[in-house]
């Protein structure tokens, strides 16, 4: 099974999450489509925050990207975490003990266990819900 490679970009100038159209890693440039501006624009990497698609969907079948804030149920109740990579593994931040089921299946293979409630760029106020 091949992994889809998709990105989103938080454009600091407009404070908007945009769809990435193209990336040039040699020149450190990204082209994004802005729905509010209704056009495609080019930005240097330092003017955006790139978010990778993590090849997982939430319970509403919405693709999950890095820095999404997700809720998920554990044996100890509901948790709210930021999705990110740590040591090459995809995790809800600070909850590595909850990313495997009884058979040892990795978080990446789960589907429908998480609910996206926002992301740290568009909804920074949700960061206060994260308790370690």
DSSP annotation of 99 reads S
Q: Beta partners for 105? A: none
Per-residue model confidence as pLDDT tens digits over 25-40: 999 999 999 998 899 9
In this prediction, residues 55-81 reach a mean pLDDT of: 85
If phi over 0 gives left and psi between -120 and 50 gives alpha, with beta otherwise, what is residue 87?
Answer: left
Compute the C-alpha angle 65/69/73, nearest 5°: 110
What does the alpha-carbon distance between residue 86 and residue 3 come to, in Å, rounded to a whole number? Answer: 19
Residues counted in the chain: 132
What does the alpha-carbon distance between residue 10 and residue 119 come to, in Å, rounded to a whole number? Answer: 10
Per-residue model confidence as pLDDT tens digits over 70-127: 988 776 777 888 888 766 666 664 444 444 444 444 444 344 478 999 999 999 999 9
pLDDT at 97: 41
Collapse the DSSP code of 24 into the 3-class scheme (helix H, G, I; strand E, B; otherwise coil) and give the result: strand
């Amino acid at each position: 099974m091949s992994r889809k490679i998709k990105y989103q970009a938080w454009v600091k100038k407009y404070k908007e999450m945009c769809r990435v159209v193209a990336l040039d890693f040699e020149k450190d440039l990204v082209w994004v489509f802005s729905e509010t501006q209704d056009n495609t624009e080019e930005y240097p990497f330092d003017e955006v925050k790139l978010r990778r698609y993590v090849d997982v969907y939430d319970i509403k079948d919405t693709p999950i990207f890095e820095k999404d804030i997700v809720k998920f149920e554990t044996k100890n109740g509901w948790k709210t975490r930021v999705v990110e990579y740590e040591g090459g593994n995809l995790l809800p931040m600070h909850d590595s003990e909850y990313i495997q089921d009884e058979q040892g299946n990795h978080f990446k293979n789960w589907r429908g266990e998480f609910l996206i409630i926002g992301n740290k760029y568009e909804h920074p106020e949700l960061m206060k819900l994260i308790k370690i």
